[in-house]
Structure 1
Amino acid sequence: MSGTILPRPGYVRDRAAEGRKQTLRVPLWVSALVATLIVQTVSSFSSLAIPLLGPPLMGRAGLPLESIGLVSAMTSAGICWCLACGGPMLAHHGPVRTLQIGLAGMALGLLVLSQPLGLLGLFGALAIGFGAGPNTPAGSQILIRTAPARHRALIFSIKQAGVPLGGALAGLVLAPLVVAQGLTTALWAVIAVTLCTILAVQPFRRRLDGEEGASRPGWARSLLSPTMVLRSVSTLRAHASLPLLTALGASFSVVQACLMAFTATYAVTRHGASLAEAGRIVALMQGCSMLGRILMGWVADRTGHALRHLAWQAVASALAVALLVLASGHAPWALYGCAALVGFVAIGWNGVHMAELARIAPLHLVSDVTSAASLFGFVGSICGPLVFTLLVSWSGSYTLAFLLVAAQLAGFGLVSLISLRSSRQKQTADEAL
């Protein structure tokens, strides 16, 4: 036995501990989902604090109360700016670090907007929008590299469920906090939550970002480059299905934005609901949208064809909106039921859409493609309510406006189904030859 090499003292114990550590190590996709869901929820919570605290916030900033519309517009402009020009920043810093930079931008924007700076305070809203912008491209880049293919749509949908979850938390927490502790305490609470989230996701950075992002020395200049907008949009030519998928997402965005902007007003003016009851209807719609996102992701994974699923969901969503305005007045419970159905179907599309964009895009262009598609979607969410307002002003009918909005979504869904059928027939013919 003189030639036998004995293990060093503690070797067996060290190996056992290492084995237990590997056993307890969570899968990479779980870390990715937890990190992106946390950031998505907090970003939604922080950005929705602005409209919820609008009146006292505008008063503190020395602006008229109706200036909340300018704040909303500047926030939207900030998101579009990030989506159009933020690709090099994401490539340079990596997705998790970019999400942290976004959270820091939101905290800074909240601080600026809360000060008595007059119109200069609107730059705070721009910073809040820019800070919220990285959630889609950075989150998609993280998840497409880690999510198991058989559960991809479900995982993306759970991440996107952070949007209504953050909105619901903001609605439940902020108003009572202002009443109990005042506006200053509420604002600092939102800022503190935002900053703490930067620290909370730091442990995920090494696993999800690697050692460092790709070196892009000119990334800061790209933020002010008009050519970046055209370059971002050009990535939608990377796959034949991307233009159709982008158009379908923009159509869904129009419907979702109109539902969120006008459902409460519709319930009050056309159904005689109180403001509190209208708030409950919108909250129900938001809650059902969170469940819808998750279930629709699961269904899309089971069917195995997300684009076809989205096309049929577009048609079903249009029918749900039509029910909301045509059948909800027959009984008090009907309005609640139709609002729940609309939230479940018509606002539960985002996760499946993001997952399909990330799946068909070339891996090195995932963040660019999702940014460009989201940019078009955001343009739809801005233009949709504006056109809706003009339709109501012209016709005096919310019903007509809702039906026309639903019709355009049904049209895009049917066009998508026809296009998919033609592609399948062409592929069958090519295989026969």
Structure 2
Amino acid sequence: MLPLWVSALVATLLVQTVSSFSSLAVPLLGPPLMARAGLQPESIGLVSAMTSAGICWCLACGGPMLTRHGPIRTLQIGLACMAIGLFALSQPLGLLGLLGALAIGFGTGHNTPAGSQILVRAAPPRHRTLIFSIKQAGVPLGGALAGLVVAPLVLAQGLSAALGTVIAIALLTILLVQPFRRRMDADRGTNQPGWARALLSPAALARSVRVLRAHPSLPLLTALGASFSVMQSCLMAFTATYAITRHDASLAEAGRIVAAMQFSSMAGRIALGWLADRMGNALRHLVLQAVASALAVALLVMAGGQGSAALYACAALVGATAIGWNGVHMAELARVAPLHLVSDITSAAGLFGFMGSILGPLAFTLLVSLTGSYELAFLAMAAQLAAFGLASAALLRRHPPAA
């Protein structure tokens, strides 16, 4: 039998990768999906915002579901929600598609609290940040696979067949993680009542905010994560559409650009997790990364007229920085949180992060609609991250983080 931490990492990494593959297939299909609905390409930001709204709903009110069913069963429920959402999105009705995006987000949202609950109990403390980062590397791995696979599927089989394949992969993964359930869900609260009612409970939302008072570093960590999320959500939602509409890339080439960004993010998350373990100060590490990420996005915008090689290289740099922060952030949240509040605190911090993921694409869509410039919108999102990183650095100099 595998050691507990290995089983935990395998199960969470598999679900994280498939969830990312499934959810990131949607923005990759942005142009044909929006064209079928009779909308402008930048309207994919509305779908992205609805997906993030579903994640916020899950993080705000899904805690009792996790307690009742255990982390593995909760991850399986999330995959089922994603499959249902993708099916709804594959239909030609606009409102049904938006509800499908909400369901995809709700299914994706379980990965953060359930994965954190599993790993914080199983991971050796001296390698915790690295293990969290490996698990989070499933996000860009899934995105890279989507970039390489989804566009050729659309070209060969059509839009509906491509979405059907993604749905089948999500359903298969539910079966693949079932053998892990006995070990990982042993302490689930089988007598937990009212978890379904909590999904619509304002009290559950209020509690998810109150837990962020459990440690002095949590408010700054949460706000920094929200700023990163604004930037990351815009990169995820608009990079493919930007490459197609502004640089005349084909759907397949746009997928390869996204894949380069995602593969670099996967490597960056693992390397940054290892580095943060060695530095011993994850919060300062994140502040430095915020500024570096903003500079990388500025380079991506300037690379547009320098040829495809520069575009690929800058996309990879953006992936390693602006999309490589999550593992360090989650590990630091888990480190400072009381053990019994780990899933609640990661859910609450994630809630604010995904609020940024709602506002970011909406603001980006509005900026593009008003100015016609994707470049200006990307620079505005980078500017808010740089400003927040510099403000956080000043705050840390005055008030060093508590241990």
Q: Same fold (TM over 0.5)?
A: yes
Aligned runs of 1:18-57 on 2, under 5 Å? 25-53=1-29
Counterpart of 2:394 in 1: which secondary structure? helix
State yes or no: 1:345 paired with 2:321. yes
- For 1:244, the aligned partner's letter is L
More displaced 10-residue stretch of structure 1: 222-231 or 378-387: 378-387
1:215 offset after TM fit, Å? 2.7
Counterpart of 2:340 in 1: which secondary structure? helix
| Partner in structure 1 of residue 382 of structure 2 | 406
2: CA distance, partners of 1:129 / 1:211? 26
2: CA distance, partners of 1:117 / 1:158? 38
1: CA distance, partners of 2:188 / 2:30? 39
Q: 158, 172, 193: which one pairs with 1:217?
A: 193
- For 1:347, the aligned partner's letter is I
1:182 offset after TM fit, Å? 4.9
| Partner in structure 2 of residue 235 of structure 1 | 211
Q: 123, 126, 129: which one pairs with 2:102?
A: 126
1: CA distance, partners of 2:225 / 2:271? 18
State yes or no: 1:274 paired with 2:240. no
Residues 213-254 of structure 1 deviation map (CA, whole Å, 9 limit, x = unaligned): 353211111011122212111111111111100111111111
Alignment check: 8 A CA contact 1:328 1:338 kept: no
Counterpart of 2:189 in 1: which secondary structure? coil
More displaced 10-residue stretch of structure 1: 402-411 or 236-245: 402-411
| Partner in structure 2 of residue 415 of structure 1 | 391
| Partner in structure 2 of residue 13 of structure 1 | none
| Partner in structure 1 of residue 310 of structure 2 | 334
Larger Cα-atom Rg:
1
1: CA distance, partners of 2:84 / 2:373? 41
| Partner in structure 2 of residue 291 of structure 1 | 267
2: CA distance, partners of 1:196 / 1:266? 33
Which runs of 5 or more residues in structure 1 are unaligned? 1-24, 428-433
1: CA distance, partners of 2:124 / 2:234? 34
Residues 143-190 of structure 1 deviation map (CA, whole Å, 9 limit, x = unaligned): 111111111111111111111211222232333334444555444432
Aligned runs of 1:170-319 on 2, under 5 Å? 170-182=146-158, 185-210=161-186, 212-213=188-189, 215-264=191-240, 266=242, 272-275=247-250, 277-319=253-295
Counterpart of 1:213 in 2: which secondary structure? coil
Counterpart of 1:341 in 2: which secondary structure? helix
Alignment check: 8 A CA contact 1:75 1:129 kept: yes
Residues 94-123 of structure 1 deviation map (CA, whole Å, 9 limit, x = unaligned): 111111111122223333444566634543
1: CA distance, partners of 2:84 / 2:238? 30
| Partner in structure 2 of residue 374 of structure 1 | 350
State yes or no: 1:385 paired with 2:361. yes
Residues 375-406 of structure 1 deviation map (CA, whole Å, 9 limit, x = unaligned): 11111122123333444555565554444432
Counterpart of 1:386 in 2: which secondary structure? helix
Counterpart of 1:347 in 2: which secondary structure? coil
| Partner in structure 2 of residue 12 of structure 1 | none
Counterpart of 1:100 in 2: which secondary structure? helix
* Distance change in 2, residues 1:44/1:267 (3 Å): closer
Alignment check: 8 A CA contact 2:70 2:187 kept: no
* Distance change in 2, residues 1:331/1:125 (3 Å): closer
- For 1:162, the aligned partner's letter is G
Counterpart of 1:348 in 2: which secondary structure? coil
- For 2:19, the aligned partner's letter is S
| Partner in structure 2 of residue 154 of structure 1 | 130
Alignment check: 8 A CA contact 1:137 1:367 kept: yes
Alignment check: 8 A CA contact 1:63 1:119 kept: no
Which runs of 5 or more residues in structure 2 are unaligned? none
**Number of matched residues?**
400
1:286 offset after TM fit, Å? 1.8
More displaced 10-residue stretch of structure 1: 193-202 or 216-225: 193-202
State yes or no: 1:358 paired with 2:337. no
Alignment check: 8 A CA contact 1:58 1:68 kept: yes
2: CA distance, partners of 1:222 / 1:36? 25
1:51 offset after TM fit, Å? 4.0
Alignment check: 8 A CA contact 1:289 1:348 kept: yes
Q: 60, 70, 74: which one pairs with 1:94?
A: 70
2: CA distance, partners of 1:398 / 1:102? 33
Residues 188-207 of structure 1 deviation map (CA, whole Å, 9 limit, x = unaligned): 43232222211111111121
1:296 offset after TM fit, Å? 0.6
2: CA distance, partners of 1:392 / 1:51? 16
Alignment check: 8 A CA contact 1:91 1:215 kept: no
2: CA distance, partners of 1:351 / 1:312? 15
1:277 offset after TM fit, Å? 4.7
2: CA distance, partners of 1:144 / 1:165? 22
Alignment check: 8 A CA contact 1:45 1:166 kept: yes
Alignment check: 8 A CA contact 1:178 1:185 kept: yes
* Distance change in 2, residues 1:193/1:326 (3 Å): closer
Higher relative contact order, structure no. (Cα contacts within 8 Å, ≥ 6 residues apart):
2
- For 1:336, the aligned partner's letter is Y
Quote the sequence identity (%): 76
Give the TM-score normalised by structure 2.
0.88
More displaced 10-residue stretch of structure 1: 163-172 or 295-304: 163-172
- For 1:407, the aligned partner's letter is A
| Partner in structure 2 of residue 106 of structure 1 | 82
Residues 336-395 of structure 1 deviation map (CA, whole Å, 9 limit, x = unaligned): 332221211111101111111111111111111111111111111221233334445555
1: CA distance, partners of 2:285 / 2:310? 27
Counterpart of 2:257 in 1: which secondary structure? helix
Alignment check: 8 A CA contact 1:324 1:338 kept: yes
Counterpart of 2:354 in 1: which secondary structure? helix
* Distance change in 2, residues 1:63/1:200 (3 Å): same
More displaced 10-residue stretch of structure 1: 33-42 or 259-268: 259-268
1:63 offset after TM fit, Å? 5.1
Alignment check: 8 A CA contact 2:45 2:237 kept: no
